[in-house]
Structure 1
Amino acid sequence: MNLLKLKNRKEVFAWSLYDFANQPFTTIIITFIYSAFFAKVIAENEQVGTTMWANAIAVTAIIVAVLSPILGAIADNGGYRKFFLILFTWICAIFSILLYFPESGDVFFALILFVIANISFEMGTVFCNSYLPDLSGKGNSGSISGFAWGLGFFGGLISLFLALFLFPELDAGSIRKINVLVGIWLLVFSLPTFLFLKDRKKDKFKKEHLLNSFSAIRTTFKSISEYKAISQFLIARLFFNDGLVTIFALGGIYAVGTLNFSFNEVMQLGIVLNIAAGLGSFLFGYIEDIIGVKKIINITLLVLIIATLIAIYAPETNFPKELFWLSGVLIGLMVGPNQSCSRSLMAQLTPKEKLNEFFGFFALTGKATSFIGPLLFGIVTSIYNQQMALWIVILLFVLGFLLFNRIQFNLLNSQDEI
C-alpha cells in the first residue's frame, strides 16, 4: 500500500493518528512505567501491588465487556460513533492527567483513576477500530491496519523519549508528571481524527435507540452461528489476546519485581520494544497482504510462546537481564502484527451493516475473559512468585494457537487466501 496513492489518504492518515495519540497510555501507564511505579511506590509492597494492579485490569475488562456491544449497537442505530469516540478519548485524557495526584499509600485513589482512564481508553479503541472497514478494501486492510499500529508504536517511542528528556531523574515526582504528558498527548494528537474522519449525521437520541441496541445484540447472539468463522476466530482470540493483556499489564512489574530493573532500565526497555513493535507492525502489515493473515497470526503466536519461555527461565541463568531484553524484543516484534492482523481479519469478515456492533463483540471477546489472565497472575504471584505466574501466559497462547488453527479460513467471504 502506498498511502499517498489512496483516494481517501487524508482520512486514513487521520484515523491512523488515533493510534499515535493513544499508544503512550498503553506504553507508559499500563505496561512500563506507572504499573511498576504503583507496585513499587504506591502499594504496600510489590507482591500486594502486583495483585491489586492485576485486579484493576480485571475490573476494566469486565466493564468493557459489558459496555462495548451495547454502546456499539447504539452507535449503529443512532450514528453516535464519533460522539462516543470523542467522549471516551477526553475522559481517558483527563483521568490520565489526574494520576499526577496519588502519592505513596494512595492505593485506592490511584486505582479508581486508573480504572476510569483504562475503561475509556478501551472504549475509544472500540469505536476507532470500527472505522477500518469504511477506510479499506479486501486488498489493503492489512497494510492500512499495520500502518496505524506502526504509527502508534512510533508515537509510544517518541513519548518515551520526550518523557526522558523532560524528566530525566525518573523519581516519584517525575513519574507522576509523566501522566500529565500522556493526557495532553492524547488530547492534542487525537484532534485530526475527530476533524477529518467522516461519519453519518447522528440522530437525536431517543429511547428507541437503546431498545433497538438491546434488540440488535439479542439478534446477533441468535444469529452468530451463521457467522461460524467469525465466532470461532473470536473464541480463539479470546485466549491469545488474554495472554497479551497479561503481558501488557504486568510486564513492567515483572521486570522490576523479578529481575530488579530500575525505572531507567524499564524506560529503556520500553523504547527498544516500541522500536521493535513499530518495525513489526509496518513490515508484517505489508507481508500480510501477500501471504495472508492466518500465517502471520500463527507466526506471531509461536514467537510469543518462545519469548515468554525465555522470560520465565531468564532469572535462572547467568545473564537474566540480557535474556529478558531478548524476550522483550521478540514480544515487541510480534505484538503489533498480532493485534493489527486480528483487527484486519475482523474487518474483512464483518458485514458492512454490522460494523460497530461486531467490533463491539470484537472488544467483548477481547475483554470478556481478559480478567482471567491478570487475575490468575496475581493469585499465583501471591502464592508462589511472578516467575511461576508467567506460565499462565504460556497456557493462554497455546490454547489460542490450537483453537485458531481449527478454523476453515478458505471458506471466508469467498476470498482466495486469508
Structure 2
Amino acid sequence: MSKESSRGNGLFAWAMYDWANSAYFVMIQTFVFAAYFAQSIAENETTGTALWGNMIGLAGFILAISAPFLGSIADEGGRRKPWIGFFTIMCVFGCSMLWFAEPSTDFIWFALIMAFIATLGAELSFIFYNAMLPDLTTSLTIGKWSGWGWAMGYAGGLFCLIIGYFGFVEYGAEWFGLNEESLQNVRITFLFTGIWYALFSLPLFLKTPDVPSKNKKIAEAVSDGLRELKNGIRLLKKEPNIWKFLLARIFYNDGLATIFAMGGVYAAGTFGFDTGQIFMFGIALNITAGIGAFGFSWVDDISGSKKTIIWSLTGLVIPVFAVLFVESETWFWVWGLLLGIFVGPVQASSRTFMGRISPQNKRNQMFGLFALSGKLTTFAGPLMVGWITLLMDSQRWGMASILLLLIVGLGLMFSVDEIQGTSKEKVPLTQ
C-alpha cells in the first residue's frame, strides 16, 4: 500500500470518529434522552428542565477548567489515542448504563450521574481528537478533512436517529419483544448509542497513526503547554481585533451550545412532543443543518466569513425568537427547521474566520485560544435556562436566555474587522 493511500485510510478512519461521537450528541444530549428525562423521570417538565440544565452546566464548567490542562497534554505530551480511548470508554459506559434509567423519579440521580459521565467523556475526547488532525494532513488539505469530519458527524447523527426510531422505538415491541409500558423501546436506544459509539470509533484506533510520545512527564507537558497559552494571551494585547472576535464567540457559542443541550427538552415540555416526534424532528433538523453547512460554504468564499457569521446569527435570532412565542406545533416545526439551516454555517465560518484573521506564524496559539473561547463559559447558558425556568415556572422564559446570548454575540461581531492580524500592517482578506 502506498504512503498516500495509507494516509488517506488513516484520515478516513479519523473522520469516522466524528460519525461515532455524534451519536451521543443527537441521542443523549439534544433529542432523545434529554426529553425522556424531563417527561418520564423527572417530577415534571419544569423540574426536569432545571435539573438537566444544571447537569449540563456543571459538566460544561468542569470541561472549561480542565480543557486548557488537557489541551496542554495533547500539544506537549505526544500520543493522543490512549486519552481518546479512555474518554470514549467513559462515554460508552455512561450511555449504555442509561438503559437502566427506568421511567420513575426513583432514577433521577442515577440518570443524571450517568448522563454526566457520558457528557464529560464525549466532550473531553474531542480535545485529543481535534489535536490529531494537523499531524495527519497538510496545510493544503486540513480544511477539506476538517469539513469532511464535520459532514461525517451530521451523517452519523442522522443515521443513528433513523435506526433508533424505526429499529427500536416504532417496532421494538414487535421485533424484539420490548415492553412499551416501561419504555424499553425508548431506553434501548441509549444502549444502542453506546454500542454505536464503541463500534464506529474502532477504525480510529486500528487505522489512524498516532504521533510518538515525547516522553514528557505530565507535569512537564502541562507546564510547557500553559506557557504557550500565556504567550498566546499576551499576544492578544497586540491584536485587539482577535480578542474582540473571541469575546463575541464566547456569547454566541454559548447560545448555540444551549440550543443543543435544551432543544429536545423544550420540544417535549412546551409542545408535548412524544418520543417519535422528537426522533423525526431530530432527523429533519440534521438534514436542514447539513444543507445549511454546505450551502453557506459557498457564501463564505464569496462574501467573507464575517458577513456569513452575521447573516447566520441573524438567521438564528429570528427563529429562536419565533419559537418562544408560537403556540402551534406546526409553526414550531417550521421555525425549528429554519433554525437548523443557520447552525452549521456559524460554526464552520467561525473556524474559517479565525484562520483568516490570525497572524500566520501564530495560528497554533490562536487556535488554542479559539478552542478555549468555545469551552470557557458553555456551562452558563444551560444554567441560565435551568434556573430561570425554575424561578419563573416557565420553559419559555428559561429559553429566552438563548436569545440574549445570540443577540449580544451578534452585536459584538459588528465591531470586528475582517482583516489579517499582526503587527504593523493589516491585510484585508476580501481581495
TM-score, normalised to structure 1, is: 0.89
Counterpart code for 2:205: F
Contact 2:418 2:429 in 1 (8 A): no
Q: Deviations over 1:370-412 (max 9, x none)?
A: 2221111112211221112222111111111111221122224
CA RMSD after TM alignment: 2.7
Rate the CA distance shift 1:224–1:194 in 2: closer, same or farther, 3 A.
Answer: farther
- Give the structure 2 partner of residue 161 of structure 1: 162
Q: Which structure 2 residues correspond to residues 23-38 of structure 1 after superposition, within 5 A? A: 23-38=22-37
Q: Deviations over 1:171-205 (max 9, x none)?
A: 42122211111111112222233344444201334
**2: CA distance between counterparts of 1:94 and 1:350?**
42
1:96, CA displacement in angstroms? 1.2
TM-score, normalised to structure 2, is: 0.86
Rate the CA distance shift 1:64–1:306 in 2: closer, same or farther, 3 A.
Answer: same
Is 1:417 aligned to residue 430 of structure 2?
yes
1:225 aligned residue (237, 251, 254):
237
**2: CA distance between counterparts of 1:113 and 1:148?**
27
Rate the CA distance shift 1:157–1:57 in 2: closer, same or farther, 3 A.
Answer: same
**1: CA distance between counterparts of 2:74 and 2:156?**
28
Rate the CA distance shift 1:59–1:383 in 2: closer, same or farther, 3 A.
Answer: same
Q: Which structure 2 residues correspond to residues 42-191 of structure 1 after superposition, within 5 A? A: 42-103=41-102, 104-105=104-105, 106-133=107-134, 143-169=144-170, 171=180, 172-191=183-202
- Give the structure 1 partner of residue 331 of structure 2: 323
Rate the CA distance shift 1:196–1:282 in 2: closer, same or farther, 3 A.
Answer: farther
2:352 aligned residue (316, 325, 344):
344
**2: CA distance between counterparts of 1:8 and 1:177?**
37
Is 1:267 aligned to residue 279 of structure 2?
yes
**2: CA distance between counterparts of 1:151 and 1:310?**
30
- Give the structure 2 partner of residue 373 of structure 1: 381
1:9, CA displacement in angstroms? 4.3
**2: CA distance between counterparts of 1:415 and 1:92?**
43
Q: Deviations over 1:57-116 (max 9, x none)?
A: 110111111111111112211213333233222221222112212222211111111112
Counterpart code for 2:215: K
Equivalences, count: 409
Q: Deviations over 1:279-298 (max 9, x none)?
A: 22233334433433222222
**1: CA distance between counterparts of 2:335 and 2:72?**
40
**2: CA distance between counterparts of 1:12 and 1:287?**
27
Of structures 1 and 2, the one scoring higher in RCO (CA 8 A, sep 6+) is: 1
Counterpart code for 1:184: I
Contact 1:312 1:390 in 2 (8 A): yes
Gap runs ≥5 in structure 1: none
Rate the CA distance shift 1:389–1:157 in 2: closer, same or farther, 3 A.
Answer: same
1:257, CA displacement in angstroms? 0.8
Gap runs ≥5 in structure 2: 173-179
Larger Rg: 2
Counterpart code for 1:393: I
Contact 1:65 1:363 in 2 (8 A): no
Percentage of matched positions with identical amino acids: 37
1:225, CA displacement in angstroms? 2.4
Counterpart code for 2:188: K
**2: CA distance between counterparts of 1:289 and 1:184?**
39
- Give the structure 2 partner of residue 194 of structure 1: 205
Tell me, what secondary structure is at the counterpart of 1:200?
A: coil
Tell me, what secondary structure is at the counterpart of 1:100?
A: helix
Tell me, what secondary structure is at the counterpart of 1:148?
A: helix
Rate the CA distance shift 1:134–1:401 in 2: closer, same or farther, 3 A.
Answer: farther
- Give the structure 1 partner of residue 406 of structure 2: 397
Contact 1:146 1:337 in 2 (8 A): no
Q: Which deviates further from its counterpart, 336-345 or 107-116? A: 336-345
- Give the structure 1 partner of residue 177 of structure 2: none
**2: CA distance between counterparts of 1:280 and 1:157?**
15
Q: Deviations over 1:122-147 (max 9, x none)?
A: 11222333345556777766554333
